[in-house]
Amino acid sequence: MTEKFLNCSVFHYDCNKVIEGLVRSLKSTGLNPAGLLIMGASGLGKTTAIRLFKEQYSRPATETHSYQTIVPVITPENGTVKSMTCALLKALGCPTPDRGSAHSMFIRAVKLMENLETKIIIFDEIQHLTEKNAQKKTKPVINFVKNLMSETNCPVVLVGMPDAKDLLELDEQIERRFSKTIMLNPFSMNNEKVNHDYTDTDLFFSFLHTIADIMPIDTINIEDPVVAKRILAASKGKISIIIKILEYVIENNEGELATLSDFSRAYSEISDYDIQYCPFIITTKQLEKLYFLEG
User: How would you write the pLDDT of the chain (295 residues) with one tens digit per residue?
Assistant: 777 776 677 778 888 899 999 999 999 998 889 999 999 998 898 988 999 999 999 988 887 788 899 999 999 987 889 999 999 999 999 999 999 999 999 999 999 999 999 999 999 998 888 755 455 667 888 889 999 999 999 999 999 988 877 777 777 788 888 878 999 999 999 999 988 889 999 999 999 999 999 899 999 999 999 999 999 999 999 999 999 999 999 999 988 999 999 999 999 888 765 567 899 999 999 999 988 886 4
| Cα 16 to Cα 27: distance, rounded to the nearest angstrom | 16
Alpha carbon distance 208, 196 (integer Å): 21
Beta pairing partners, 159: 38
From edge to edge, which strands make up the β-sheet containing 70-74? 70-74, 120-124, 156-160, 36-39, 180-183
- Work out the burial of residue 234: count CB atoms within 10 Å of its CB; fewer than 13 is exposed, 13-18 middle, 19 or more buried: buried
Q: What is the dihedral of CA 44, 50, 55, 56, to 10 degrees?
A: 100
Phi, psi of 274 (to 5 degrees): -65, 125
Task: Give the CA angle between residues 11, 181, 126 to the nearest 5°.
Answer: 90
Which spans in 116-171 are helix H? 135-152
| Beta-strand relationship, 120-124 and 36-39 | unpaired
- Torsion from C-alpha of 158, 159, 160, 166, nearest 10 degrees: 30
The 10 Å CB-count burial string (b at 16+, else e) for 144-159 is bbbebbeebebbbbbb
Contact 183, 162 (CB under 8 A): yes
Q: What is the dihedral of CA 131, 136, 138, 141, to 10 degrees?
A: -140
Contact of 184 with 54, CB cutoff 8 Å: no
If residue 131 lies in a helix (H) or strand (E), which one and from where to where?
none
Q: How many Å apart are CA 130 and CA 182, to the nearest integer?
A: 18
